[in-house]
Homo-oligomer: A and B are copies of this chain.
């Protein structure tokens, strides 16, 4: 039960992209150097965000990645699910209906109580992440830091 390390990379990447001026883009190589992570692998994860509709990518020298929507409309859950998949933590294989102690189907009309509680917990996790937007993260950043980020990632024209 652990998120891939790349999850941290994309969370920081999206947060960083959100600090740029609207419409501005940064390349995977720039972001990789910004965080000192493998460029190719980061690019792979950013592609997943494009497929999920969180980012949009432009080709060519002045291409790169930028937010597909305002930062107020991008939640942490969308980012995490984009890179890690939306499959549930706990999958109920109806163990109660298998093996020596199989319970007759007519007593299994209600969903397995264990699966229900595990699903509740997972829903709590998802709701917590869905309640935080990238804009909320930006609001908590030290004053003046976005300006510095923009300067570091501005491209020589």
Q: A residues near B, CB below 8 A?
A: 1-5, 7-9, 11-12, 15-16, 33-37, 76, 80, 84-85, 87, 89-93, 95-96, 98-101, 103, 107, 110, 113-114, 117-118, 120-122, 124-129, 132, 136-137, 140-142, 145, 149, 152-153
**CB-nearest residue of chain B relative to A149?**
B101
User: Is B121 touching A129 in the complex (CB atoms < 8 A)?
Assistant: yes
For the complex, what is the distance from the CA of A95 to the CA of B121, rounded to whole Å? 29
List 3 A-B pairs, minimum CB-CB distance, nearest first: A36-B99, A121-B128, A34-B101
Q: A7 contacts which chain B residues (CB < 8 A)?
A: 90
Q: A91 contacts which chain B residues (CB < 8 A)?
A: 2, 5, 8
User: Is B1 touching A101 in the complex (CB atoms < 8 A)?
Assistant: no
For the complex, what is the distance from the CA of A80 to the CA of B93, rounded to whole Å? 17
User: Is A120 touching B114 in the complex (CB atoms < 8 A)?
Assistant: no
For the complex, what is the distance from the CA of A110 to the CA of B12, rounded to whole Å? 16
**CB-nearest residue of chain B relative to A12?**
B95
User: Chain B nearest CB: distance from A144 CB in Å?
Assistant: 9
